[in-house]
């Protein structure tokens, strides 16, 4: 099964249909802010009655006052950590968080991925009228109720009895007052809350420290790189072949290996610890003293690590036939001319035209983490990782003559569009992968996808960027 959104294809999960009678699916929607142990208990109870359960967090709810407590990218991380390991039959669908929307219930039932399932919508007894008002007439309901409340549930609905509920507002209040919620949320969620200082009434900490006393590592290495292969063998005593059981994803190779590992494994929601067996290695730790032997590897895995929590870019690209595709990238995406003529581009930021005609070889959008890569080689100044902004960079700009790059706010949407599709064709690229001929590129920071990069303090990426900005003579 794949619940998919054409604008965010990388936030999908697949599973085969069970054999036997018509399978049943429970669609469990909620804020999960934060996801608690009672939410996990509901999932487990639903699994006793249904073949699949899809947990889908709401986007912003227009019927309520604006009460976003933490950035959705942190909610998405916590929800994945709380729910995705409950059971293989549980799917977490982040489309509404990513799209800042609330999907129509009838449209969800018509999703081709649900063909063959009988879909039930999960509602809670204490909010039955409010939850039912969001659904289409005739929607099948399964009502979650405590033993005390189940007798008051109207007839005609399936019922699932669970223990007591703990409202998200109760958990948030405890956290705001400086109390813990370790008894109310899964351990992995408690670690995220503590690590980033969530629900404290202040901006979350982008960078934090962590230590793993009994580390388990899922090792990814470049099989064409002999050094990386040799180092991988040193990690064997702490390695696991199951990435969902890992505390860290260890990447041995170059920046390209790290980017590929991120694209493949970001939904695991564990830190990526890289060791440079390649060239520049801005996203990785320098190997000196870290992988000289088994003792050094153990010291690396048990060391105090600096973790940087970094959102990914959500990028859409338009083909000549007008259709749009979408994906996520950690570093950058760009368009460039694919003929002998320069590109003529219009650049919009938040629907306002900022460059009505940019004559150049191409335009790149880059995260702070990616600002040390192609963005830097194109003349942009690298950004500190905690900069609440990202980059738009021009390549070989001819007009406007002095324009090179611009900073845009973390919540901004940037659109680059060809002014002459036929005469001046464009090629699109995302994390180095060609997208074919495109007519437009639209990008923003993802609301659901993020990555934690881990560094030994002496090799921290922030220090590498500082050395670029203040080079030694």
- DSSP state string for 122-139: EEEGGGHHHHHHTS-TT-
Could you say which of 51, 80, 96, 255 is catalytic?
255
Name which of 333, 278, 285, 332 is nearest 310 in CA terms.
332
CA torsion through residues 345, 351, 353, 355, sign? negative
How far from 301 is each of 142, 284, 304, CA to CA, in Å?
Answer: 46, 14, 9
pLDDT per residue as tens digits for the range 368-425: 999 988 999 999 988 988 888 999 999 999 999 999 999 999 999 999 999 999 999 9
Instruction: Measure the CA–CA gap between 46 and 25, rounded to whole angstroms.
Output: 9
HSE of 426 in the Cβ direction (CA atoms, 13 Å)? Answer: 29
pLDDT of residue 60: 85
Dihedral pair phi/psi, residue 435, rounded to 5°:
-105, 0
pLDDT of residue 8: 43
Predicted model pTM: 0.91
pLDDT of residue 151: 64
Full set of structural domains in the chain with CATH: 24-205 (3.40.50.620), 217-303 (3.40.50.10330), 312-447 (2.60.200.30)
pLDDT of residue 69: 75
Cα 343 to its chain centre, rounded Å, is 32
Give the other-Cβ count within 10 Å of 468's Cβ: 13
Three-class DSSP category at 309: strand
pLDDT of residue 12: 41
pLDDT of residue 153: 74
Torsion of CA 40, 149, 171, 90, to 10 degrees: 20
Degrees, nearest 5: CA angle 312-316-320: 155
Residues of the chain with pLDDT under 70: 1-20, 63-68, 151, 473
Instruction: Measure the CA–CA gap between 52 and 2, rounded to whole angstroms.
Output: 12
pLDDT of residue 3: 44
For 323, residues 6+ apart whose C-beta sits below 8 A from its C-beta are none
Asked about 255 being catalytic, the answer comes back as: yes
For the chain, what is the radius of gyration of the CA atoms? 24
């Amino acid at each position: 099964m794949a619940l998919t959104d054409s604008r965010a294809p990388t936030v999908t999960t697949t599973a085969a249909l069970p054999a036997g009678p018509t399978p049943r699916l429970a669609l469990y929607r909620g804020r999960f802010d934060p996801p608690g142990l009672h939410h996990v208990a509901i999932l487990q109870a639903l699994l006793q009655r249904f073949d699949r359960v899809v947990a889908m967090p709401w986007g912003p709810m227009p019927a309520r006052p604006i009460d976003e407590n933490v950035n959705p990218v942190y909610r998405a991380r916590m929800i994945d950590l709380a729910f995705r390991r409950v059971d293989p039959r549980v799917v977490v669908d982040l489309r509404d968080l990513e799209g800042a929307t609330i999907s129509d219930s009838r449209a969800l039932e018509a999703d081709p991925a649900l063909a063959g399932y009988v879909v039930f919508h999960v509602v809670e007894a204490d909010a039955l009228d409010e939850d039912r008002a969001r659904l289409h007439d005739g929607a099948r309901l399964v009502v979650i109720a405590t033993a005390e409340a189940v007798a008051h549930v109207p007839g005609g609905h399936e019922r699932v009895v669970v223990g007591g509920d703990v409202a998200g507002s109760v958990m948030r209040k405890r956290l705001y007052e400086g109390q813990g919620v370790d008894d109310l949320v899964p351990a992995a969620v408690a670690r995220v809350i503590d690590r980033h200082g969530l629900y404290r009434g202040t901006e979350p900490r982008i960078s934090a420290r962590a230590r793993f006393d009994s580390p388990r590592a899922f090792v990814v290495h470049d099989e064409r790189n002999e050094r990386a292969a040799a180092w991988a063998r040193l990690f064997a005593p702490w390695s696991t072949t199951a990435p969902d059981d890992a505390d860290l994803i260890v990447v041995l190779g170059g920046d390209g290996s790290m980017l590929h590992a991120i694209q493949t494994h970001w939904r695991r929601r564990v830190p990526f610890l890289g060791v440079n067996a390649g060239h520049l290695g801005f996203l990785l730790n320098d190997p000196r003293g870290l992988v000289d032997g088994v003792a050094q590897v153990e010291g690396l895995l048990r060391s105090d690590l600096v973790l940087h929590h970094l959102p990914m870019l959500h990028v859409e690209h338009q083909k000549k036939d007008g259709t749009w595709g979408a994906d996520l990238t950690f570093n950058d995406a760009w368009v460039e001319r694919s003929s002998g003529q320069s590109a003529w581009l219009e650049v919009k930021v938040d629907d306002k035209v900022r460059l009505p005609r940019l004559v150049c070889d191409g335009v790149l959008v880059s995260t702070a983490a990616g600002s040390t890569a192609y963005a830097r080689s194109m003349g942009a100044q690298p950004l500190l990782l905690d900069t609440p902004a990202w980059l738009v960079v021009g390549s070989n700009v001819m007009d406007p003559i002095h324009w090179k790059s611009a900073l845009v706010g973390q919540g901004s949407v940037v659109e680059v569009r060809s002014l002459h599709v036929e005469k001046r064709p464009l090629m699109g690229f995302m994390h180095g992968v060609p997208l074919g001929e495109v007519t437009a590129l639209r990008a923003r920071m993802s609301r659901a996808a993020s990555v934690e990069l881990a560094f030994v303090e002496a090799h921290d990426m922030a220090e590498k960027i500082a050395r670029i900005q203040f080079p030694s003579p």
